[in-house]
Structure formats: C-alpha cells, structure tokens
C-alpha cells in the first residue's frame, strides 16, 4: 500500500505540473503579448506549449494503469457503466463550458452555434476508447491498435487532402460530421484542432501513459527502470524526428510524428520525476504541484468558468479580464511581462482554491 501511495505522489506531481502549465498558457493578460515559448506553433513545428495537452492525456493513461486493475474486479457491466458515465460527464462539461454563460444580449445563446469538440471533450473520448481497448484487447491489442492508428492516420492525411490548414483530411471530416457552425473559428475560419478525426492518434497518448505506468509498477523504483524509460523516450524522440521528414510534427493536426515526440518527452520527464521523488526522495518542492494534481479536472473547469466570467462582465468599454490585465499588470510591468504576470496571478488564485480543498480533504472526481 505504501508503494502505491508513493507512485501516486509522482503521478500527482506530474499531473499538477501539467495543469499548472495548461492554465498559464490559456490565460495570458493579452493574446497579443505572449513570450515565444508560450505560443503554440502556428502550424508545423513544436514549442513547449505544444507539449502540455498531450502530456495531460499521458497522465490520464498513467492513472489508468492503476484504475483498470480495480475495473477488472467489478465485471463488464459495472466497468462499462463507470467508463461511459465518466466519458459522458466530462464531454458534457466541456460542451457546457463553450456554451457558458448561456445568455448573450438578453437572449439564450443558440446551441446550433456552440462548439461541440474541445479539450475536455478530447480527454473524455480518449479516456473512453483507451479504457475500452486496454480492458478488452489487453496490452498486446492496445499496442497493435496504436501502430495501426498512427500509420493509418498518416495514410488518411495523405490520401484525403493536403497538409495545409484548410485542405487537410481532418478539417474535411469535421465539416462533414459536425458542420462549420459547431467548429472552432479562432483561425479566422472553421478549423477544430480537437476535432473528430485527429482524436484517433490522440488515443495513443493515453495508451502510452498506461504502458509507462504499468512498466514502473512492474520494475519498481530502480535505476534500471529509470534508465530503460529514458532510453525508450530517446528512441521515440529519434523516431519522431525521422517521421517528421515524411509527416511534419504538427499539434493542430495531431500528426503521428507529433504523438511519438510528445510521448517520448513525457516518458523522459516521468522518469526524471520518479528518479527525483521516489529514488532520491527530494520532495520539499513537490507539494505546490501535488495540490493541483489532487483536483485536476475541477480546477481546469474552474479556470475556464473564471476566465469566461471575467470576459463577460465589463469595466468601462473593456471586459473585466482585459481591464485588469491592462491596468493592474501591463500598464506598469510592460506588455509581455505584465501579460505573463496576469496569468501567474490567475493561476495562483486557482492554486489557493486547490490548496483549501486539499486541506479540507475535498477531492472532486468525475
């Protein structure tokens, strides 16, 4: 039991670190003033920010390496009920976040214009499919699926479109399946980076996290385990860079090379965390991230609600969000640094809420 608890410390820290970065990159004071590492790559390419979302999927898989053991003991009916219920709730919350605050100019915002897919929706779908694949097809079947999914997705992208933002197979599938009115329009036209087709390779990020978690449980807290994880991570990064020559690393398309790169980096980061936390016992710094890791979905949802409310209410001719960012931070700190400090303070407010919840032993699970 002690070993399991320590495993979860590493997992909580990894999850909390990921959530911390997710909130930072999602809430700058101004999208016009962001330090380069906090930008997503405009199309092909890779930045630190492009690592954040797939890492969250990876730690979902890591947690699944523990939870699926319990699911094996409850029978198929109970397993399916738990998985489908969790999938539905997370997906629904994600949809409601895009619909929120539900009213605009005194009228109910039309569902016909609300974005259907998004970050939480992708988490829900990837969790669902990964859980079903691992439970019924077992690890060997999951590995075969992962290879077929990555290679198959590559072939689909090449056969049914080009690799431009407006001509790729993923956008064509989304336009056909969900329609332009339900898609993300932040690029100036309907294009959903969390759409239907590109969810297929993202499932592999969850499965990879599961394999990493199982490997650590089997091998224990040993230097050999850390070394093997590091080598696997290095090999995956090397393969990703090679695949990039055929299919560019691209977060918005979630290309197969992007999957290998992010999994490779995640495996190496996880090995470092386990080495520092479990082997060296260096834990004085971990609590900050552990707090975030205890209620990750709730805090992420709260961050979205909080930001939306600040954008909804006005101060003068500006939103409360923009007014605070400009007058409290950017006006005297400078645009870039002030924008970053706004994000940090925003994140720290959420951390204080997470800290209070942890002290009161309040853990909200979907």
Measured CA to CA, the distance from residue 176 to residue 272 in angstroms comes to 43
Pick the more confident residue, 9 or 354.
354
**Beta strands of 84-155 (E only): which ranges?**
103-104, 107-108
Section 46-57 average pLDDT: 95
pLDDT in the model for residue 3: 44
Encode 244-269: b = buried (16+ Cβ within 10 Å), e = exposed.
Answer: beebbbbbbbbbbbbbbbbbbbbbbb
Lowest pLDDT segment from 6-10, 55-59, 141-145, 262-266: 6-10
CA atoms within 13 A on the CB side of 295: 21
pLDDT in the model for residue 11: 82
Portion of the chain with pLDDT greater than 70, in percent: 96
Residue 152, pLDDT above cutoff 60: yes
| Per-residue pLDDT tens over the stretch 105-140 | 555 667 777 888 999 999 999 999 999 999 999 999
Measured CA to CA, the distance from residue 297 to residue 335 in angstroms comes to 30
pLDDT in the model for residue 4: 44
pLDDT in the model for residue 106: 54
> Which candidate, 289, 209, 274, 287, places its Cα nearest to that of 17?
289
Measured CA to CA, the distance from residue 300 to residue 53 in angstroms comes to 12
Query: What is the model's pTM?
Result: 0.92
Residue 1, pLDDT above cutoff 50: no
Each domain of the chain, given as residue ranges in start order, spans 2-359
């Amino acid at each position: 039991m002690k070993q399991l608890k320590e495993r979860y410390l590493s997992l909580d820290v990894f999850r909390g670190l990921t959530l911390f970065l997710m909130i930072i990159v999602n809430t700058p004071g101004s999208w016009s003033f962001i330090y380069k590492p906090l930008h997503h790559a405009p199309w092909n390419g890779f930045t630190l920010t492009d690592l954040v979302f797939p890492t969250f999927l990876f730690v979902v898989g890591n947690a699944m390496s523990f939870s699926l053991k319990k699911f094996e003991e409850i029978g198929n009916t109970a397993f399916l009920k738990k998985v489908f219920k969790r999938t539905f709730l997370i997906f629904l919350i994600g949809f409601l976040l895009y619909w929120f605050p539900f009213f605009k100019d005194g009228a109910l915002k039309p569902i016909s214009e609300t974005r259907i897919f998004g970050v939480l929706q992708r988490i829900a779908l990837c969790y669902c499919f990964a859980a079903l694949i691992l439970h019924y097809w077992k690890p060997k079947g999951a590995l075969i699926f992962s290879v077929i999914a990555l290679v198959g997705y590559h072939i689909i992208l090449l056969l049914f479109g080009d690799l431009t933002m407006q001509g790729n197979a993923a956008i064509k599938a989304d336009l056909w399946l969900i329609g332009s009115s339900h898609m993300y329009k932040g690029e100036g036209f309907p294009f959903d980076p969390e759409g239907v087709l590109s969810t297929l390779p993202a499932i592999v990020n969850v499965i990879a996290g599961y394999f990493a978690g199982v490997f650590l449980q089997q091998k224990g807290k040993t230097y050999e385990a850390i070394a093997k994880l590091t080598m696997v991570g290095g090999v995956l990064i090397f393969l990703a860079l090679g695949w990039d020559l055929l299919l560019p690393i691209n977060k918005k398309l979630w290309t197969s090379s992007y999957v290998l790169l992010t999994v490779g980096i995640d495996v190496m980061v996880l090995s470092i965390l386990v080495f520092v936390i479990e082997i060296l016992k260096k834990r004085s710094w971990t609590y900050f991230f552990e707090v975030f890791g205890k209620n990750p979905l709730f805090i992420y949802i709260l961050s979205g609600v909080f930001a939306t409310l600040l954008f909804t209410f006005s101060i003068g001719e500006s939103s409360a969000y923009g007014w605070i960012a400009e007058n409290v931070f950017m006006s005297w700190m400078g645009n870039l640094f002030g924008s970053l400090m706004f994000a940090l303070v925003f994140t720290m407010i959420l951390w204080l809420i997470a800290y209070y919840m942890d002290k009161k032993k309040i853990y909200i699970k979907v």
